[in-house]
Amino acid sequence: MRKYDFSVLSPDEFELLCKDLLEVERNITLENFKTGKDGGIDLRYTTSKNENIVIQCKRYSDFNKLKNTLKKEVDKVRKLNPEKYIIMTSVDLSPQNKEDILKLFEGYIKSTSDIIGGDELNSLLQKHEKLEMKHYKLWLSSTNILQKIVNNNILNRSQFTEQQIKDRVKVYVQNESFIKAQEILNKNGFIILSGNPGVGKTTLAEMLSYSYIARGYDFFEISDDIEEAEKVFEIGKEQIFYYDDFLGRNFLEKDLSKNEDKRILQFINKVMSYKNKKLIMTTREYILRQAQIKYELLNDKQIDISKYIINVENYSKFIKAKILYNHLFFSSVPEEYIRKIVEGKHYKKIINHPNYNPRIISLMTNNLILSDISADSYPDEFLKKLDYPDAIWQHAFENQIEEYSQYILYSLTVCGEKVLLSTLEKNFNEINKKQNNKFTHGAFRKAIKELEKTFISINKDLFGQYYVSFQNPSIKDFLIKYISNNDSIIEFLWETTLLIKPLLNAFTLDNENHERKIKINPLIMQRLAKIVSNRFNEFLDCDSEDSKLDSLRRATEFFTIENYPELKKLLVDTIKKIEKPYLLVNRTDYLYLLRKFYNILKSSIDYEAILFDIINNTQYYDELDSILYIKDAFPEIFKIIQDKLDIPSIVEDILEHTINEAKYDKDYWDESQLQEALDLCSEISEILNIDVYHFSSKLEDLITELEEYYNREPDIDDFILDDERYYGYQEDKEIESLFNTLLEPEDN
């Protein structure tokens, strides 16, 4: 039997649960009264004989607290004088507990069957499963569902913990965005959640993910590249893939030399062809629009069909109120602070503020932020933060943490979204070394302890590795603006950061189109170029020929290297040291650099010999792109090589091998990959003028065979019911009543 945790429900949510359960169990329709000072009535039922039945709903976990509260209700009940009085509570009640309550309300509670405790609520929820799904927060936090999520085969991210899930579920307010997003995901197999920062994209994505994990789906978080998902894609498994901020991290950071736009659309189509696969992606709406302008493939109509824009303006006033209420109720905000918000009715100004944002609500109920704010000034400070949201973290950063902690946050800002704790420590040691060991031994450990659960989160993955990330995206947003155009901090970070790839991704010269990047003063670019050329071979992510090429390509996209002699020399030296380019895994970056910097490199390397070796040593399907690229980039050299090599035979041998492999390894090859091979055949025919019709025909037959080979699994029903209980209320009165409950004693 499932065990539900009623503590994740706020008092009004618990009351609505009781109403639903009693209505369906006794086949009656109940009238509910405004949350707050109800005169002893939460719910009421009038019989056909005009008999009044009054129901009280009490959300407690301790019987003694419940009993003390009920004693105060006795006089109210006598005044009401109902024919019957029913108590519903989240407390598990013993027979003796029920007898005590029965005596307390003697003459009004007719029998112990009208005293319904937490254990009986559990039984009723088991009996009426549809109601269980309707109350999503309760369902999600039940013991067996939590265990499914916690023990799920989670890849590429830290494990979820029960407490983390409960903490997120408590403050979550289910609204129509969840229902609509779920409909899109169930119908299309994927969804893009877009919207402005802080509106709740990540929260909604997590809630959707939890619901699928609970139903048996394996969860995979894509951290950097869609190729990660391709590698773990298993046809027979139920899998859900989550790609947070996929455009912000990837598409707008660099030219699409590896056809990311094409590959992500292929993966979307792949997911859509399997009923047991789901894909959730998030992005900021303005970034999606920029990407669609820049890359034609992203204008695919399927993207717009499966896009759901989360807009705070679409939240009803009551939903905004519930978000604020839940954060105040479930937080550790001191009672006197809450009293100032409620008694002055400042919650109305917060809810109606044009900058209302769930992320700011979360931050302003954070104890760290409150530590320097008095109870009297709390309402005004709350509203100031809505007026000037960037100021939220500045005071805490400048005045409440040690200098060594500040340096760790600087380092985390430029090291990527999720950084190994060990890498961050190495980075800190480099910072300390640069400052002549200014900080004492143990400073890193002290800093991590100081920052954890306020500025940063630390989680462990399946392999026992600890990763550090920002506790809240707004912290990174603040630090980006704080560091931007501060030349001394920027130069210091370039001199001490140990990873060049995230370093290059963290900065920009473009002040308009990269909101989540640190802005650089163009006047210091010469100094930064010198730092890169001096440190290039020392970076931890430049430890192989392939990784150096990737880093070099990124550097040449960041700097106009023709203007920097030291970078031109670095380019020539790096390329000259590669003796056997045909053995490279990373041929794409190598050829890209050869093409882009032909005039710089042509006097230092033998282009014809290098390109001949690459074509002559092409053996695998995923290397065929190299031949097409060489034909397009170096047409004159390609003609010379074509006279010396039987290129059609090389291509045909590879295609033959590919088809034979696909016939006998159906677990690896799927329709998407075969369709990609078919598209490649068309390019080969068109660009190289090689007749590959018979290979195309075989690939088409294989695609048909695979479609028949795999049994599609049925759609999962959308079993979480729409909940319209928060709509159509007399909002202002209901909101006032709701917030008044924060002043009443309640088991929290």
Is 714's pLDDT higher than 50?
Answer: no
For 88, the enclosing helix (H) or strand (E) is strand 84-89
pLDDT tens-place string over residues 46-56: 876 777 899 99
Tokens describing residue 462: 């399946």
- Between 277 and 251, name the one with better pLDDT: 277
Q: Are 440 and 450 in contact (CB under 8 A)?
A: no
Phi, psi of 349 (to 5 degrees): -65, -40
Q: Would you state the pLDDT for residue 174?
A: 84
* Nearest of 158, 164, 139, 160 to residue 149 by alpha carbon: 160
- Between 312 and 452, name the one with better pLDDT: 452
366-380 burial, b if ≥16 CB within 10 A, otherwise e? beebbeebebeebbe
Maximal C-alpha separation, the chain: 105
Q: Is the dihedral of CA 114, 115, 117, 120 positive or negative?
A: negative
Q: With 0-12 CB in 10 A as exposed, 13-18 as middle and 19+ as buried, what is 695? A: buried
What residues does 468 pair with on adjacent strands?
419, 458
Q: What is 509-549 written as a DSSP string?
A: S-TTT-TTSEE--GGGHHHHHHHHHHHGGGSTT--SHHHHH
pLDDT tens-place string over residues 674-693: 788 888 888 898 888 888 88
pLDDT tens-place string over residues 623-656: 899 999 999 999 999 999 999 999 999 999 998 9
Q: Would you state the pLDDT for residue 411?
A: 97
DSSP-based three-state secondary structure for 38 = coil
Cα separation of 309 and 313, whole Å? 11
Q: Across 272-337, where does the E strand assignment appear?
A: 277-284, 307-310
Cα separation of 450 and 407, whole Å? 13
Mean pLDDT lowest among 135-139, 517-521, 575-579, 738-742: 135-139
The single residue listed with the structure tokens 């997003």 is 181
Distance of CA 615 to the CA centre of its chain: 42
Q: What is 589-655 written as a DSSP string?
A: HHHHHHHHTHHHHTTTS-HHHHHHHHHHT--SGGGHHHHHHHHHH-HHHHHHHHHHS-HHHHHHHHH
Question: What number is the average pLDDT over the span 509-527?
Answer: 84
Q: Would you state the pLDDT for residue 676?
A: 81
Is 240's pLDDT higher than 90?
Answer: yes
* Nearest of 211, 230, 165, 221 to residue 716 by alpha carbon: 211
Is 718's pLDDT higher than 70?
Answer: no
How many other β-carbons are positioned within 10 Å of the β-carbon of residue 478? 22
DSSP-based three-state secondary structure for 32 = strand
In sequence order, which residues have a C-beta less than 8 Å from that of residue 193 and are 6 or more positions away?
181, 201, 204, 205, 280, 281, 282, 283, 308, 310
Q: Would you state the pLDDT for residue 495?
A: 97
Q: Would you state the pLDDT for residue 522?
A: 93
User: Identity (one letter) of the amino acid at 124?
Assistant: L
Question: What number is the average pLDDT over the span 702-719?
Answer: 56
Q: Would you state the pLDDT for residue 494?
A: 98
- Within 13 A of 422's CA, how many CA atoms are on the CB side? 5
What residues does 45 pair with on adjacent strands?
53
* Nearest of 301, 317, 374, 372 to residue 340 by alpha carbon: 374
pTM: 0.67
Mean pLDDT lowest among 26-35, 353-362, 503-512: 26-35
pLDDT tens-place string over residues 71-85: 989 999 999 899 999
In sequence order, which residues have a C-beta less than 8 Å from that of residue 623 and are 6 or more positions away?
587, 654
Phi, psi of 348 (to 5 degrees): -65, -45
Question: What number is the average pLDDT over the span 390-404?
Answer: 85
* Nearest of 659, 665, 696, 676 to residue 269 by alpha carbon: 676
Question: What number is the average pLDDT over the span 477-502?
Answer: 94
